[in-house]
Amino acid sequence: MLGKILRLYRKHFWSPERQARYAGVMIGYNCNIQRVTFGSEPYLIEIGDHVQITDGVKLFTHGGAWVLRQKYPDMDFFGRIVIGNNVYIGNNSLIMPGVSIGNNVLIAAGSVVTKSIPDNVVVGGNPARVITVIEEFEKKMVAINVNTKPMGSVEKKEYLSSLPRSRFIKK
């Protein structure tokens, strides 16, 4: 009973990052970890410095053994996940077992990362693939930078509402 109360307390009063650290995820400095599922072996996950993992992301360290257990009853296999420094993982992305993500990587929302990712790229899709390199992404985004990060929500709303359409991302 006490265990249930403690789990409930941690779930409601601890930050997602603190919960992850408690579960065994190795997390570097200056990270922003939101509501993320770290699976049943969180101690097999290592996250570098300055990493943001957004809502709904799921990291899997195992999978697929079920279909072989009739033939091999003790079958189990795992893969560590290593995330480098200065990485952004967009909402609802899935990171599969054994994947390493390099430094300076942006993973688009909804991506399914099935293979390791090199440094300095933007990836997206299902399965995730390289879309561009960080330098090209930077050039495009600097051109439409609106410098609102230090603004409060009311000031930001007024400012963004006053901008012409040409100042926004276009696809």
**Least-confidence region, from 8-22, 40-54, 112-126:** 8-22
Active site residues: 62
User: Does a structural domain hold residue 153?
Assistant: no
**Predicted local confidence at residue 12, as pLDDT:** 78
Q: How many domains does the chain have?
A: 1
- The verdict on residue 2 lying in a domain is no
| Tens digit of each residue's pLDDT (9 = 90 or more) over 46-99 | 999 999 999 999 999 998 899 999 999 999 999 999 999 999 999 999 999 999
Q: Is 158 domain-assigned?
A: no
**Domain-embedded: residue 5:** no
On whether the CB atoms of residues 101 and 123 are closer than 8 A, the answer is no
Is 151 within the bounds of a domain? no
CATH code assigned at 140: 2.160.10.10
pTM reported for the whole predicted model: 0.90
Q: Does a structural domain hold residue 160?
A: no
Instruction: Say yes or no to pLDDT of 145 above 90.
Output: yes
Nearest to 103 by CA among 78, 120, 91: 120
Q: Domain for residue 42, yes or no?
A: yes
Which range marks the domain in which residue 37 is found?
16-145
- Look at residue 156 and tell me if it is in a domain: no
Q: What is the Cβ-side half-sphere exposure of residue 101, based on CA atoms within 13 angstroms? A: 36
